């Protein structure tokens, strides 16, 4: 799914209006009805709706939503925010339609004192329809006072298309006034700003509503930003041939673990084998042999000559993909192993301590094999590059890093960002906060390694791996509370995640 800029969305609207053809006001009706279907599911007939409308098209959406709710016998109050003397044509049309239906529900907010008109009950749901994606400057005046008022209520807030005050594709200043929505109903596409950690308090949840914008236009318009969905990945999936064997699906090498950190190698190894690899060898310190063989009988072990940490690589001629980093430490021996590994032209994943070694020895980055996959969390990425002012700057930094070093960056977090060497950036749609726990990164490393060994290209393995990892975590929450989710719970749900993806 593409992520478009406000200008591109406006062009898409205009193309749809001209070529469907459909009147602008009727497209607004369509968008409002899509919102109604979601809102009704999330409310009861006893719910009261307080709808705040600006005077642009976003306000027009709110007015149409109010009309549809009234026709369904909901208790509705509408407040027009007089932030401007101008109003869009579609806003004016929908205002007249609402006046014809039930004029007594409409009130105006012109100054701060008018906020006293607004009364809430415990069953009130607020609909924020003040400003849309066209906003390009901070909210001021009565609108700013209203946003502060909305945020102070602690009521459930539904923002239409985007929380008022939030920019769609650029960072806000820290003092900007922004509605803190409970859920945002976004038309056709997610907005880039929804996917940035710094905006989590404004967009904790969003739903994408298909309003029937022209699919040919969407298909042909260029963007570097994408939101990964199941339908995007299904064309990439490979089947397992009936007359295949273990050698058909590759031999993975996992370089992981040290004394006291063997859990990382166990987790990554299990995830690798659950993700399709035909064979797996784990390079482990001598003291880790029994741990690996007792925990994962399906894996082979190559014992390192050192008792407590990894100091060497096995013969490399039989492997089809490599992952290195979980639990290996940052000893001089670890650095030597990574330097040696860079001499081999194999698909590679660098995670955890391998990233820390690269951060401490940045000259090694110039020797990365093209399409190597690096899986840092935010702090690890900042150590690889620099500290960043905001998430938009970090995203651009990741793009430049990927272009320069011809590598794939998997920047882990909510909506994990997969940054490709061609400049395209993909945001993951699966996963939950239960993954904010030790072992989750080791699991992801194992999943990606298994897919690489299986024969997927590095870009494919990164995209599918991140999605599958998050999907397994989501499935686990059906039986496990989010506070209690463990990496082993995620691994146990990998089969179900693959099953759902292949459906």
- In the predicted structure, residue 245 carries a pLDDT above the cut 90: yes
Please state the rounded mean pLDDT for residues 225-241: 97
Spell out the alpha helix ranges (H) of 296-386: 332-341, 353-360, 378-384
Place of tokens 């062009």: 11
Quote helix, strand, coil % in the chain, to nearest 5.
45, 15, 40
Name the residue ranges covered by the structural domains of the chain: 6-223, 232-502
Chain centroid, CA 36 distance in Å: 25
pLDDT per residue over 460-489, tens digit each?
Answer: 999 999 999 999 999 999 999 999 999 999
User: Quick count: other Cβ atoms within 10 Å of Cβ 414?
Assistant: 18
β-pairing, 251-255 with 321-324?
parallel
The dihedral built from the CA positions of residue 43, 44, 48 and 51, taken in this order, carries a sign that is: positive
* CB environment 37-74: b (16+ within 10 A), e (fewer): eebeeebeeebbbbbbbbbbbbbbbbbbbbbbbbeeeb
* Residue 284: pLDDT band with limits 50, 70, 90: very high
* Residue 308: pLDDT band with limits 50, 70, 90: very high
Res 382: pLDDT: 98
User: Quick count: other Cβ atoms within 10 Å of Cβ 454?
Assistant: 23
Q: Confirm if 485 and 435 have CB atoms less than 8 A apart.
A: yes
- In the predicted structure, residue 45 carries a pLDDT above the cut 90: no
Q: Confirm if 377 and 441 have CB atoms less than 8 A apart.
A: yes
* Residue 237: pLDDT band with limits 50, 70, 90: very high
Chain centroid, CA 211 distance in Å: 22
User: Quick count: other Cβ atoms within 10 Å of Cβ 200?
Assistant: 14
* Residue 321: pLDDT band with limits 50, 70, 90: very high
Please state the rounded mean pLDDT for residues 26-31: 98
Res 42: pLDDT: 84
Q: How far is CA 445 from CA 236, 239, 351, 409, in A?
A: 20, 22, 7, 13
pLDDT per residue over 183-208, tens digit each?
Answer: 999 999 999 999 999 999 999 999 99
**Tokens standing for 112?**
């701060």
Chain centroid, CA 288 distance in Å: 36
Rounded Cα–Cα distance for residues 291 and 289 (Å): 5
**Tokens standing for 480?**
């496990």
Rounded Cα–Cα distance for residues 3 and 224 (Å): 8
Please state the rounded mean pLDDT for residues 54-62: 98
- Among residues 377, 391, 373, the alpha carbon closest in space to that of 456 is found at 373
* 3-state helix/strand/coil string of 118-179: CCCCCCEEEEEECCCCCCCCCCCHHHHHHHHHHHHHCCEEEEECCCCCCCCCCCCCCCCCCC
Per the document, the length of the chain is 503
Please state the rounded mean pLDDT for residues 144-163: 97
Let me know if domain 232-502 sits in CATH 2.60.40.3500. Answer: no
The second-level CATH assignment, the architecture, of 6-223 is 3-Layer(aba) Sandwich (3.40)
Beta-bridge partners for 373: 349, 408
């Amino acid at each position: 799914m593409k992520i478009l800029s406000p200008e591109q969305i406006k062009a898409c609207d205009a193309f749809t209006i001209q070529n469907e053809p459909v009147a602008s006001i009727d497209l607004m009706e369509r968008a409002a009805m899509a919102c109604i279907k979601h809102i009704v599911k999330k409310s009861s007939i006893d719910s009261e709706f307080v709808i705040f409308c600006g005077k642009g098209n976003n306000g027009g959406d709110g007015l149409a939503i109010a009309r549809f709710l009234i026709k369904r016998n909901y208790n509705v109050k509408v407040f027009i925010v007089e932030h401007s003397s101008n109003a869009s044509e579609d806003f004016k049309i929908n205002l007249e339609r609402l006046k014809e239906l039930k004029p007594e529900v409409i009130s105006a907010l012109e100054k701060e004192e008018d906020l006293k008109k607004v009364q809430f009950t415990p069953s009130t749901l607020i609909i924020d329809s003040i400003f849309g994606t066209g906003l390009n400057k901070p909210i001021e005046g009565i609108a700013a006072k209203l946003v502060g008022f909305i945020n102070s209520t602690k009521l459930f807030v539904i923002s239409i298309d985007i929380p008022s005050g939030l920019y769609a594709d650029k960072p806000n200043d820290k003092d900007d006034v922004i509605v803190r929505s409970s859920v945002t109903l976004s038309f056709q596409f997610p907005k880039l700003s929804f996917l940035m950690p710094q905006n989590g308090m404004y967009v904790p949840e969003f739903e994408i509503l298909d309003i029937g914008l022209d699919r040919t236009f969407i298909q042909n318009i260029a963007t570097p930003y994408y939101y990964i969905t199941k339908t995007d990945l299904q064309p990439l999936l490979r089947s397992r041939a009936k007359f295949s064997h273990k050698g058909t699906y590759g031999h993975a090498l996992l370089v992981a673990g040290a004394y006291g950190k063997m859990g990382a190698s166990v987790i990554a190894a299990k995830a690798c084998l659950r993700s399709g690899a035909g064979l797996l060898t784990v390079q482990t310190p001598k003291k880790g042999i029994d741990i690996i063989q007792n925990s994962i009988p399906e894996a082979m072990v190559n014992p390192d000559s050192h008792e407590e940490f990894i100091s060497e690589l096995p013969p490399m001629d039989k492997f089809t993909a490599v992952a290195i980093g979980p639990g290996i430490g940052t000893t001089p021996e670890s650095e030597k192993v990574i330097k040696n590994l860079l001499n081999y032209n194999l698909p590679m994943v660098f995670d955890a301590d391998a990233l820390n070694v690269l951060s401490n020895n940045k000259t090694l980055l110039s020797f990365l094999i093209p399409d190597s996959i690096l899986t840092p969390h935010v702090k690890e990425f900042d150590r690889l590059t620099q500290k960043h002012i905001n998430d938009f700057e970090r995203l651009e930094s990741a793009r430049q890093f990927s272009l320069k070093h011809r590598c794939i960056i998997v920047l882990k977090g909510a909506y994990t960002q997969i940054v490709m060497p061609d400049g395209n950036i993909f945001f993951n749609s699966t996963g939950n906060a239960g993954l904010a726990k030790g072992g989750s990164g080791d699991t992801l490393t194992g999943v990606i390694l298994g897919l690489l060994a299986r024969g997927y290209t590095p870009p494919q393995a990164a995209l599918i791996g991140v999605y599958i990892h998050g999907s397994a975590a989501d499935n686990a929450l059906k039986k496990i509370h989010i506070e209690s989710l463990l990496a082993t719970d995620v691994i146990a749900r990998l089969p179900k995640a693959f099953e759902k993806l292949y459906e």
